Amino acid sequence: MIISKSNPKIKEVRSLKQKKFRDELGLYFVEGHKMVKEAVSFNLPIKYIIGVKEELDRISFNINEVFEVSSEVFSTITDEKSPEGIIAVINKEDKPFTPPTSKCLLLDGVRDPGNLGTIIRTAAASGFKNIYLLDTVDEFSPKVIRASMSGIYFCDLYKITKEEVDLITLPKISADMKGQNVFEFDKLKEFCLIIGSEAHGVSTYLREKSDYTVSIPMQNVESLNAGVAGGILMYLL
């Protein structure tokens, strides 16, 4: 059992809360019984699992690197208010850009981890498998992972550049307050839905490349956050 807060494995997990170390080490982590169990069932490239005995006993896995820790030590690596006591450290799989062949999302400057995680979770639920990320918050941030729940396991996430936007040849639909009422929009079979940043919406660059613009009619409020708006549009479209 690991009982030292200075153990190298404990220090490594703690470092993965910062993007620079996630990038440097090529690792990220998922936390909680459900997330770890599904990471195992999906055969993700798990480097090792750390947890308290009670949680380790609840999951069956064929992984050599499993480390039991004390509750006191685990409390130093979790940000959860009510931690379940288990974490899986996973090797990042950077996917090369692949153009979509069916409905997809393009997230433009979404910077709030909660919004990004919510969008990923809703995308998984509504059948949007491919998600393209342009200048967004890190998709491997613990807050994004937590908000996405298991959605991150079902979606393919691609970091892209402005130049690669042109390789997405599906009709592009931007979400914008000045767009056509989405309830009156003629549905397309395949398309790329573009959701912009919380502060500025879809960038001028992407609006100019869009074939359509849609909006969600609202009363009493000026806007919805990106996670809520994205969910409404994914299901309606």
For position 195, which CATH number holds? Answer: 3.40.1280.10
Q: Which percentage of the chain shows pLDDT scores above 90?
A: 86
Task: Tokens for 138, please give them.
Answer: 């890190």
Beta bridge partners of 174: 194, 213
Of the residues 26, 57, 91, the one at which a domain ends: 91
Range of the domain at 156: 104-236
The helix (run of H) or strand (run of E) holding residue 107 is strand 104-108
Clarify whether residues 122 and 70 are in a common domain: no
Average pLDDT over the chain, rounded to whole?
Answer: 94
CB atoms within 10 A of CB 63: 12
Residue 28 has pLDDT above 90, yes or no: yes
**What pLDDT does residue 60 have?**
83
Residue 62 has pLDDT above 90, yes or no: no
Q: How many CA atoms lie within 13 A of 67 on its CB side?
A: 22
Residue with tokens 């936007």: 165
What's the burial of 205, exposed, middle or buried (CB within 10 Å: 0-12/13-18/19+)?
exposed
Of the residues 91, 118, 140, the one at which a domain ends: 91
pLDDT-derived band at 99, boundaries 50, 70, 90? very high
**What pLDDT does residue 222 have?**
82
**What pLDDT does residue 59 have?**
86
* Sheet (strand 27-31) strand order: 27-31, 86-91, 46-51, 66-68
